[in-house]
Structure 1
Amino acid sequence: MEAIQNQLSIGKNYIKKILKRDKIEFYGLKPSQLPIAPGVYIIRDKIDDTVLYVGRTLNLQRRIYTNHLQGNLSTARLKKYLIEDSSRSEVVDLNSAKEFLKNQCYVQFIIVENDYKLRGKLECLFTFAFDTYYVEPERGKRN
């Protein structure tokens, strides 16, 4: 039980760390604002701070700017989720999904180098702790 308590304490520190990071808005975002480094990130709605999406990557700049902001539906899962979400009537296609990101979202990230296991664990931890709105479904039959 002590080992679990220790892991929970470490996890809590990572949650505090990402929450202290700058809020980088998608509106006017330039690639140079993001590092070419591995890490974990959260994309949040500016209106109510809901965490919409959590991800991990080997290259934060490419994943956040190139894929999420500029990318198509095959490289930007969040855009796909937004379009498929019937409660978001303002998001109907790729362009309106991009506008939603630019006008209503920001990203926070932490750099996590040389530890793919930690990046994976943090992605799961943040998804759970922040009660993330969009979560990738498992492959196969769903229930």
Structure 2
Amino acid sequence: MLVLFGICLQSNDLLSRRIIRRIAGEKATSDTQSHQKDPRRKAGKRSVGVLRTVSKSQLKLMEARLSELVDERARPFSDLKPSAVPERPGVYLITACVDGDEQAYYVGRTKNLRGRLYRQHLMGPLANARLKKYLIECGECIDKESAKQFIRDHCFVRWVEQEGYRERGALEGYVTAMLFPKYGIYEEH
């Protein structure tokens, strides 16, 4: 068992063992080589291959970006001015202070932080402001105006700029996995 970010990883299946070895810095044994030499494998059949995992340097970069995001100054939505938010791509974290504790509420990514955070999350309609929609659907607020007021009174935002949609997507997924926000993890279809 390996403890990573306070999460216990059990080494009871092949993929978990590979991930644990990769994170621990050990050279993964070649499970694919034994599969390719398997005499039960029919000739001419193509194998799917092995899933590619992130490298140690990519993992360290994600950890550093997560630390940068969490260490960023929390800006209250009540004081948020459009000019204070860059018109740049990035990943953002919305937290709420409830009963004295700051909790991760929503993690997102965008091509334009200013447009997304100010014009959509704070000022926008429910169709564009998922956090407001979730606050209403889960009964934390009763309507759009009370959701907007909740965001103004209780929510804070942090962001890091991030170029490249693939990098933003990976960082958003990593931050979501590590902070496990209250909203924004969708039900499967």
Deviations 1:92-136 (A, max 9, x none): 0000000000000000000012x1111000110111100111124
Counterpart in 2 of 1:69?
122
What TM-score results when the alignment is normalised by the length of structure 2? 0.68
Question: Of 96, 110, 113, which residue of structure 2 is paired with 1:57?
Answer: 110
User: Larger C-alpha radius of gyration, 1 or 2?
Assistant: 2
- In 2, Cα distance between the equivalents of 1:138 and 1:118? 24
Counterpart in 2 of 1:6?
57
- Measured after TM superposition, the shift of residue 20 of structure 1 is 1.7
User: Where do residues 82-101 of structure 1 align in structure 2 (5 Å cutoff)?
Assistant: 82-86=135-139, 88=140, 91-101=141-151
Counterpart in 2 of 1:108?
158
- Measured after TM superposition, the shift of residue 21 of structure 1 is 1.1
Give the fraction of aligned pairs with identical amino acids, expressed as a percent: 38
Query: What secondary structure sits across from 2:105 in the alignment?
Result: strand
Deviations 1:25-75 (A, max 9, x none): 100321001000000000001232211000000000000000000011100
Question: Match of 1:135, as an amino acid?
Answer: G
- In 1, Cα distance between the equivalents of 2:67 and 2:79? 27
Question: Of 70, 80, 85, which residue of structure 2 is paired with 1:34?
Answer: 85
User: Where do residues 99-138 of structure 1 align in structure 2 (5 Å cutoff)?
Assistant: 99-113=149-163, 115-138=164-187
Structure 1 vs Structure 2 CA RMSD: 1.4
- In 1, Cα distance between the equivalents of 2:71 and 2:186? 29
RCO greater where, 1 or 2, for CA within 8 Å and sep 6 or more? 1
- Measured after TM superposition, the shift of residue 6 of structure 1 is 3.2
- The answer for unaligned runs of 5 or more in structure 1 is none
- The answer for unaligned runs of 5 or more in structure 2 is 1-21, 26-53
Paired residues in the alignment total: 136
- In 2, Cα distance between the equivalents of 1:136 and 1:46? 20
Instruction: Single out whichever of 19-28 and 66-75 deviates more from structure 2.
Output: 19-28
- In 2, Cα distance between the equivalents of 1:120 and 1:59? 14
- In 1, Cα distance between the equivalents of 2:113 and 2:136? 23
Structure 1 segments, 4+ long, off by >6 Å, are none
